Amino acid sequence: MKFILQLLNEAGAQTDRAITLVPRFGGYFRAVKGVEEYTPQKITLNTADGKLYLGGEDMRIDKYSEQDLFIRGDIKEARFE
């Protein structure tokens, strides 16, 4: 975890607003303010900086606590606006 935080810091990212995607498994998202749309194929998240659109298959929200969110499933697309 320290290595990832170091890379994010060097890239100028805000580590309290990060995402981690694992192919065919899911993703971990920080600074989530709310869930706007939720289906197994499409999830839209409201974040501190805008909207994050996720597309995939068999996606489901596994855990959501204190602005941290874990989604299980095959996330094939992520787009931020």
> Which pTM does this prediction carry?
0.79
The values of phi and psi at residue 78, to 5°, are: -140, 125
pLDDT tens digit sequence for 27-49: 999 889 999 999 999 999 999 88
In sequence order, the 6+-apart residues with CB closer than 8 A to the CB of 67 are: 30, 31, 32, 33
Domains of the chain: 14-80 (2.60.40.2000)
Q: How many Å apart are CA 73 and CA 40, to the nearest integer?
A: 8
Per-residue confidence (pLDDT) for residue 1, from 0 to 100: 56
Structure tokens at 5: 């935080």
Q: How many Å apart are CA 81 and CA 67, to the nearest integer?
A: 19
